[in-house]
Amino acid sequence: MAHCPRPIANYGVYSMQVNQNKISIKETKDEVIAIAVFQVPGGQPPSATPLKYPKEFEDLSQYVRKEEFEGKSGQVYVFNSITAFKFKVLLYGLGEEKDFNLDYLRRFGGTAVRYAASAKSASVSIVLPNVKNASEAAQSIAEGAILASYKPIKFKTKKDDYFEVKTANIISQENVSDAIKRASALATAQNYVRDINENPANIATPQMLAQSARDLSKQNGLACTVFEKDDLKKMKMNAILGVNQGSALPPVLVIMEYNKDKKDVPFYAVVGKGITFDSGGISIKPAKGMQEMKYDKTGAVTTLGIMRAVSELKLPIRLIGAFAATENMPSGTAQKPGDIITAYNGKTIEVLNTDAEGRLILADTLAYVAERKPQAIIDLATLTGAIIISLGRYRAGLFSNDDNLAKAIFEAGEATFERVWRMPLDKEYVEMDKGDFADIKNIGSEVGDAGSITAAAFLQEFVGECKWAHLDIAGVDMISEKHSYLEKGASGIGVRLVVNALERLAMK
């Protein structure tokens, strides 16, 4: 059993600098200034009112052609040269106010940074629009700006084509500096997750994830314990060891703790799935798209990001962050369909499909964490392709044995735009997991009926009496095409969601 601390690794740069600037808009020295504009109801061109334009730019309306810019949601209009201004102006449409959503401001912040990069401007000024809550608006803009600043180019040998915007200045006369600091902690943690997650399996081994936990713990003052393979054998973590049988690399179980010794604060746990590469094992996957299985460690890496954000925000809670990490590989020693194993909590499991491995490593991890009796456990896992069939790629699946916990997570999802949808856990689904030759089986149906639900029902067998929620993030862990503030690749979704949910739980 190895303990922290270890030497601090070089995390690299995951975050641009975001500042508040209280100067007059026209006093900015940045080469690019971005302004968000609401659409006038009825499809008319934006009016020259303080609500639609900042007062100092009311005369912009005379330059805007209705057919080119109406302020529709996501619409962009650029003034490259107007004699009255010394800088380029980007107008961004927010749509009609009745349809306004804070995520539009994340998209605004991201679009501003992307345009500044295309204009080769190292800094950009972003005008805080006249909306109801200035702090929420500033946080959203800053999050979008920081998230848009990350590009997965660390393995590119030629980086000259990628211009780095180093600073975003949010112009506001109201004090929003605390909101910007909060956004920086959250979005930087999300970029940190994305950066680790982009490492392929030959780099992001179980040992590399363990070292990332050690480094983060040293830097942020967390307690950290890494259980190695011999420890897991002594602890009878047979579900983790079974998945690991086919791999040449040993598994690890990582336990991180924030505010470990505090007894007078709410106590929670976050658990992540850490399959560093998933071939499917003996039940091998098709070759097409298998390279994306480097993202099967997303739950574990997101747990690292949550621990980073919670510790930097200094939330008044106690938190365990736990994950098991291993490859799932085919070999002469690999776990076989039909094998029966005994998990850490004593339940026996029929392994009918070795590609349903994530629930096995989560089983031992959840059972171990449940013994600590946290007030709630939230797990994150790229668990099933079935959840993508159910919800597509816009919401994660939420399963829970507690209504209040589920409500907090759902509300957090709406607030952060890392949205979830609650799925059922009726007893009929639990029955589908009953084993013929052991207590339970690791797939509920050979034909895949209710695959995401029976997977969640399987996990529920290992949480004891704890309040528990499972987030199946298989549909949102990566994106195939970039949008306003996320590039193609790892999304880092889950960090802002879970941190927000933990805050809501603690307030209750």
Write a three-state SS string for 306-346: HHHHHHHHCCCCEEEEEEEEEEECCCCCCCCCCEEEECCCC
Q: Is the pLDDT of residue 44 over 60?
A: no
Give the active site residue among 308, 359, 441, 496: 359
Q: How many CB atoms lie within 10 A of CB 8?
A: 12
| Phi, psi torsion values for 478, nearest 5 degrees | -145, 160
Q: Is the pLDDT of residue 248 over 80?
A: yes
Report pLDDT for 11. Answer: 38
Give the active site residue among 151, 181, 285, 347: 285
| pLDDT bracket for residue 48 (50, 70, 90) | very low
Per-residue burial over 188-208, b if 16 or more Cβ lie within 10 Å, else e, is bbbbbbbbbbbbebeebbbbb
Q: Is the pLDDT of residue 306 over 80?
A: yes
Average pLDDT (36-47) is 68
Domains and CATH numbers, the chain: 17-172 (3.40.220.10), 198-507 (3.40.630.10)
Mean pLDDT, the chain, whole residue set: 92
Tokens for 55, please give them: 């007062």
Average pLDDT (363-383) is 98
Establish whether 359 is a catalytic residue. Answer: yes
pLDDT 10s digits, 464-506: 999 999 999 999 999 988 889 999 999 999 999 999 999 999 9
Q: Is the pLDDT of residue 71 over 70?
A: yes
Report pLDDT for 50. Answer: 32
Establish whether 285 is a catalytic residue. Answer: yes
- Non-local (6+) Cβ contacts of 219 within 8 A are 8, 11
Closest CA to 377 of 347, 399, 349: 399
pLDDT 10s digits, 84-134: 667 888 999 999 889 999 999 999 999 999 999 999 999 999 999 988 899
| pLDDT bracket for residue 459 (50, 70, 90) | very high
Cis status, amide bond into 5, omega within 30 of 0: yes
Residue 369 burial (CB < 10 Å; 0-12/13-18/19+)? buried
Report pLDDT for 47. Answer: 47
Contact 334, 282 (CB under 8 A): yes
Least confident of 57-61, 353-357, 483-487: 57-61
| pLDDT bracket for residue 58 (50, 70, 90) | low
Round to whole Å and give the CA distance between 496 and 412: 8
Closest CA to 250 of 366, 168, 329, 147: 329
